[in-house]
Amino acid sequence: MPDNFQRLWTPHRMAYIKGEGRPTGADAGEVCPFCEIPGMSDEDGLVVSRGESVFTVLNLYPYNSGHLMVVPYRHVADYADLDEPEYLELATFTQRALTALRKCSGAQGFNVGMNLGLVAGAGIAAHLHQHVVPRWGGDTNFMPVVGHTKVLPQLLRDTRQMLADAWPAV
């Protein structure tokens, strides 16, 4: 029956909803997107910056425009298992992400954190990653609350380039 609702179709999200390609354990044979991304070009992998131990990448399924993740190259699931160079660079890249997002998007606040383990909400629990989600006053509206739809005003490739250009120099 027809109704008064308009619909935004996002069939590309079905792969995410179904968990396609999502590693569930630490098996060496499993395909892990965070292990594959470093082998891609920055543009194809949506990589914003690369360090010695970690890299920063745009979230393919962002909560907000500019939603970044800081990821160790090493396939490790638990924060407690990071070595000193890894956790120090992870912290440094998180600071740089905040700086770049403030500079290029005027973010007024941030949600920063990790979901460790499937029961904690980790989409890819086998490979640790820190989320940096920019926030603005009034960035919550009826679309996600009522419509269960997120409206993003910029393409991921454009966002990646903008953040890479704003990334602080070492």
Tokens 């009034």 -> residue: 138
Tokens of 112: 């920063």
> Can 131 be counted among the known catalytic residues?
no
Q: Is the CA virtual torsion 80, 84, 85, 91 positive or negative?
A: positive
On whether the CB atoms of residues 52 and 85 are closer than 8 A, the answer is: yes
Neighbours of 103 (CB within 10 A): 15
Tokens 């590309």 -> residue: 12
Residue type, 83: D
Tokens of 120: 């904690």
Q: Which of 12, 129, 131, 148 is catalytic?
A: 129
Catalytic positions, written as ranges? 129
